[in-house]
């Protein structure tokens, strides 16, 4: 199979943590003056301390939140050189593991590529590489370009190398995304370690440290992440959690090769 793909920057993955300080100062007794009786003071409620994620708790919290999701949808845009290289729309289920993605943009000369993963088998329909409307089959590791495209739209793969490659994490503040309050974090990854965790060599020109910006909801589910490397940026948003999703392989009549 001949396959020509525009260079795809694959999101790498992190390992992080969370802790919070719950120590409270001792309560001061009511002040009194000689000959006067102090009025009873009203109890003042203290808001609970907010626990922020850190190097120790970030990845466990992120993975725990992800494993509670049965399904979700993804939307991502990849830009470079002043143009949109790719727009990705997809749906994914965790158990059983399945995914469907549609990709359009300059990477495919404005046409649409479709990739499906079902029961451990991949199906790809690539403009210029397969007949229109037809699919070829593949398994993970067989075709490097297809693996990269799949990983670019699969947040579970994007998170795998975070644990071993994390350099630093910083809580930025609260933000509102799609109408919900989120926690924003800045995460820096060691690029060489991140690629090594995925069994890959770091490509030339990739900086030693890759910065990510990530937004999490109150359950620590990643809802959006952004990164930029070697002039290519990507923004991915996750939504529609635990809503019914059906992913099926293409019929035999549409499979070639």
pLDDT, one tens digit per residue, over 33-68 is 333 344 445 555 554 456 689 988 998 898 888 888
Higher pLDDT, 24 or 164: 164
pLDDT of residue 63: 83
Confidence of residue 20 (pLDDT cuts 50, 70, 90): very low
d(CA 131, CA 147): 20
d(CA 224, CA 232): 17
Cβ atoms within 10 A of the Cβ of 196, count?
A: 15
Sequence ranges of the domains in the chain? 51-254
Is the separation of the CB atoms in 59 and 194 below 8 Å?
no
pLDDT of residue 3: 39
Mean per-residue pLDDT, 196-211: 83
- Fold type of domain 51-254: outer membrane lipoprotein receptor (LolB), chain A (2.50.20)
pLDDT of residue 75: 95
Mean per-residue pLDDT, 89-105: 88
Percent of the chain with pLDDT over 90: 37
Query: 159: buried, middle or exposed (CB in 10 Å: 19+, 13-18, 0-12)?
Result: buried
Average pLDDT, the chain: 76
pLDDT at 88 over 60: yes
Confidence of residue 159 (pLDDT cuts 50, 70, 90): low
Long-range contacts of 222-226 (CB under 8 A, 24+ apart): 222/62, 222/65, 222/66, 222/155, 222/159, 223/177, 223/178, 223/180, 223/182, 224/177, 224/182, 225/11, 225/155, 225/158
d(CA 137, CA 157): 20
Q: List the Cα angle 166/170/174 in 5-degree steps.
A: 135
63's enclosing H/E stretch is helix 58-67
Tell me the pLDDT tens digit for each residue of 137-150: 887 655 555 555 55
pLDDT at 12 over 90: no
């Amino acid at each position: 199979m001949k396959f020509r793909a525009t260079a795809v920057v694959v999101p790498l993955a992190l390992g992080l943590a969370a802790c919070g300080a719950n120590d409270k100062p001792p309560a001061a007794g009511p002040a009194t003056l000689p000959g006067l009786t102090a009025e009873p003071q009203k109890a003042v409620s203290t808001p609970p301390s907010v626990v922020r994620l850190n190097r120790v708790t970030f990845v466990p919290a992120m993975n725990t939140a992800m494993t509670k999701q049965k399904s979700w949808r993804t939307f991502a845009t990849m830009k470079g050189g002043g143009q949109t290289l790719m727009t990705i729309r997809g749906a994914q289920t965790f158990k059983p593991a399945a995914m469907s993605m549609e990709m359009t943009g300059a990477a495919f000369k404005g046409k649409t590529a479709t990739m499906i993963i079902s029961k451990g088998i991949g199906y790809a329909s690539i403009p210029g590489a397969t007949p229109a409307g037809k699919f070829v089959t593949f398994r993970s590791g067989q075709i490097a370009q297809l693996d990269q495209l799949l990983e670019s739209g699969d947040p579970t793969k994007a998170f795998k190398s975070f644990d071993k490659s994390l350099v630093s994490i910083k809580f930025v503040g609260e933000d509102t995304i799609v109408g919900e309050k989120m926690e924003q974090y800045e995460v820096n990854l060691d690029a060489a370690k991140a690629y090594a965790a995925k069994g890959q060599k770091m490509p030339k020109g990739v900086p030693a440290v890759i910065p990510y910006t990530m937004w999490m909801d109150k359950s620590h589910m990643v809802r959006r992440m952004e990164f930029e490397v070697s002039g290519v940026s990507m923004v991915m948003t996750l939504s529609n959690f635990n809503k019914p999703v059906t992913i099926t392989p293409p019929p035999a009549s549409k499979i070639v090769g």
